[in-house]
Amino acid sequence: MDEMVRSAPKDKLIKGATGDWEVIIGLEVHAQVTSKSKLFSPASAEYGGAPNDHVSLIDAAMPGMLPVINEECVRQAIRTGLGLKARINLKSVFDRKNYFYPDLPQGYQISQFKQPIVGEGVVYLDMAEGEQIAVGIERLHLEQDAGKSIHDQHPSLSYVDLNRSGVALMEIVSKPDMRSADEAKAYVTKLRTILRYLGTCDGNMEEGSMRADVNVSVRRPGEPLGTRCEIKNVNSIRFVGQAIDYEARRQIDVIEDGGTISQETRLFDSRSGQTRSMRSKEEAHDYRYFPDPDLLPLEFDQPYVDALAAALPELPDEKKARFVADFGLSPYDAGILVGERVAADYFEQVAQGRDAKAAANWVINELFGRLNKDGVDIVESPVSAAQLGAIIDLVASGVISGKIAKDLFEIVWSEGGDPAEIVESRGMKQVTDTGAIEKAIDEVMAANPDKVAQAKEKPSMAGWFVGQVMKATGGKANPQAVNALLKDKLGLE
Amino acid sequence: MSVDEATVRRIARLARIAVNDEEAHRLQGELSVILDWVEQLGEVDTAGVEPMTSVIPMVMKKRDDVVSDGAKADDVVANAPVSEDHFFVVPKVVE
């Protein structure tokens, strides 16, 4: 590990019995490459399937089978490297990583060891209070996934399905640049966003498309790095945070009790929220890497990379900067909107030709709030961008009040339809007719003579009248008109 | 370069090959001779020479991303000592 690493600010230190501790975190994220077929075989890479149905004789490691690389997986790895602002290596080498396990029929995993396809890059994290953190990327390499063992079908037997065997993975290794569970969670979230924008990994953590190995060590501020433990295969962003919090505390307790940390692999148990030792020392792995003699070096030229770079979509950092510059949004709002590409596209459609800040408020507060409440994904939003735009137009032109607009949003959400027609047919239009408003005010005043008297002494009472008038008009009265007329009638200045 | 018997046993274990005492002793000699023989290559000065990856200069063949194999679970498990519902069945392995 690099000793020239950043020091955590004071508020990110963990309190121990004997003083403060700094937690040092690095992540290895395994991301499944979005492709139709596997890395070295033409069997389907699709998730699921009947047992051993997406398996060719290559994936089952039958004698004499030879791997042939899927060029799309190479392109996806390069695209990802470009998205991580990383160096692309025009020549890389595939190695065999040797170990025995029933779900690894070859007896080795084809991976990249000394010469990966992608070198150093960087991912920027926007933390709360405007803090920006740069997390270095050490490397990205292509490798095969293993099959799946199922242990709960039989008391003494395991069932092996090779459907995942040979599916292309990108292992993305960060530098040990994170200093808190929140930073690690922000990193995985940002990485997932970038991969989804690029279309190189679907980021579906439930289906195992993204898994993280989390390296954690602790030290007293300013001291050399401590011994790290690796927590394997953490499969949700929330668990990444929990695993780090537990593991950092465990290591601090061990050291403060006079013990030492031994470098080991640990498992995170999501039910107990704890990590436990996984492999004993005498089983220490010796992978005996060597270049795969079945595969030539992977080579391509710079124009090949340049063409892929030219075709990249706008990435979240650039999109955010554009939203701030062109639409005048706050960095915070822009950050929320660019989290998912579909959400950003939705916002842009709503903002087109309208007040962008109003559009951002509606999308973030009303739409996202409603989507969260019902657990609906934005691609299935019952309110389309066009419908939301129409609602905003009705407010902007004074046809409906902001309050009625929220009711209208609710109607469109549950019933659909053209917002303008709904306003028309259900009489939701704002009442700007002074005669009608005056009538409502007169009625309220006549019914509450005591309050009228009070209001003359205490002008803030006017607010109570506004409320009553709005209530009497079903919220449809134009608030500005009500205010102006009320002041007049109550004799206030 | 010579290897000791412990190294022979470790290599055998990593390769999942059972060796008895007599074999380990014999292999210790054989492996040491083989390693000595390979070590002679170290005498050649290869500074600045790229590792040769093929006899004729050639680029790696690449495939288009097309699914054209699979759906042959019967064949895949045909030689398995034990299988059930197209799963390979093995002694329980849990870490």
Question: Nearest CA to CA, how far is A296 from chain B (Å)?
Answer: 5
Retrieve residue A307's tokens.
Answer: 């063409």
Among A465, A472, A467, CA closest to A449: A465
What would the two tokens of residue B79 be? 């030689």
Task: Note the maximum CA span of chain B.
Answer: 57
The whole-number pLDDT of residue A4 equals: 56
Rounded distance between C-alpha atoms, residue A228 and residue A5, angstroms: 15
Task: Write the DSSP symbol of residue A282.
Answer: G
Nearest by CB to residue A56, choosing from B70, B85, B90, is B70
Looking at the partner chain, which of A35, A43, A150 has a beta carbon nearest the beta carbon of B69? A43
Burial zone of A260 (CB within 10 Å; 0-12 exposed, 13-18 middle, 19+ buried): exposed
Q: Exposure of A18 by Cβ count < 10 A (0-12 exposed, 13-18 middle, 19+ buried)? A: exposed
| Region of residue A417 (left: phi > 0; alpha: psi -120 to 50; beta: else) | left
Where chain B has pLDDT below 70, the residues are 95
Closest residue of A to B61, CA-based? A68
Q: How far apart are CA A64 and CA A294, in angstroms?
A: 11
Tens-level pLDDT at each residue, chain A (493 residues): 444 567 788 888 999 988 999 999 999 999 999 999 999 999 999 999 999 999 999 999 999 999 999 999 999 999 999 999 999 999 999 999 999 899 999 999 999 999 999 999 999 998 877 788 999 999 999 999 999 999 998 999 999 999 999 999 999 999 999 999 999 999 999 999 999 999 999 999 989 999 999 999 999 998 999 999 999 999 999 999 999 999 999 999 999 999 999 998 999 999 999 999 886 544 557 899 999 999 999 999 999 999 999 999 999 999 999 999 999 999 889 999 999 999 999 999 999 999 999 999 999 999 999 999 999 999 999 999 999 999 999 999 888 988 889 999 999 999 999 999 999 898 888 877 778 888 888 888 888 888 888 887 887 888 888 888 888 888 888 888 888 888 888 877 6
Contact B90 A69 (CB under 8 A): no
Report how far residue A107's alpha carbon sits from residue A262's, in angstroms, rounded to the nearest whole number: 28
H helix count then E strand count, chain B = 3, 3
Which residues in chain A have their CB less than 8 angstroms from residue B56's CB? none
Q: Which amino acid is at A38?
A: K
Scanning the structure block, which residue is given the tokens 């890059």? A121
What pLDDT does residue A282 have?
A: 45
Domains and CATH numbers, chain B: 5-41 (1.10.20)
* Predicted pLDDT of residue A283: 53
Distance CA A216, CA A248 (A): 7
Please spell the DSSP secondary structure of A319-365, one letter per residue.
HHHHHHHHH---HHHHHHHTTSHHHHHHHHHHHTTS-HHHHHHIIII
Nearest CA to CA, how far is B82 from chain A (Å)?
10
Beta strands at A121-126 and A229-234: parallel, antiparallel or unpaired: unpaired
Query: How far apart are alpha carbons A136 and A113 in whole angstroms?
Result: 19
* Gap between the Cα atoms of A217 and A247, Å rounded: 8
Tokens of A131: 């803090």
Bridge partners (DSSP) listed for residue A158: B90
3-state secondary structure A406-461: HHHHHHHHHHCCCHHHHHHHCCCCCECCHHHHHHHHHHHHHHCHHHHHHHHHCHHH
What is the reported pTM? 0.86
> What is the per-residue pLDDT for A5?
65
Per DSSP (E only), the strands in A99-248 are: 108-111, 121-126, 132-144, 148-150, 157-161, 168-174, 210-219, 229-234
User: How far is it, in rounded angstroms, from Cα A194 to Cα A140?
Assistant: 14
| Structure confidence at residue A1 (pLDDT) | 43
Q: Which residue has 């370069």 as its token pair? A: B1
Instruction: Spell out where B8-73 has E strands.
Output: 62-63
User: Which of A159, A231, A265, A276 is the best substitution to test chain B (most B C-beta atoms within 10 A)?
Assistant: A159
B 20-49: CB under 8 A from A: none
| A182 close to A153: Cβ distance less than 8 angstroms | no
Q: CA-CA distance, A351 to A329, in Å (whole number)? A: 11
- SS3 of A39-72: the string is CCCCEECCCCCCCCCCCCCCCCCCCCCCCCEEHH
The pLDDT value given to residue B29: 94
Whether the CB-CB separation of A391 and A412 falls below 8 Å is answered with yes
Mutate to test the interface with A, among B9, B64, B69, B85 (most CBs of A within 10 A): B69
Partners of residue A54 in chain B, C-beta under 8 Å:
70
User: Are residues A176 and A5 in contact, defined by beta-carbon separation less than 8 angstroms?
Assistant: yes
Q: Report helix, strand or coil for B4.
A: coil
**A298 to chain B: closest CA residue:** B60
pLDDT at position A488 = 83
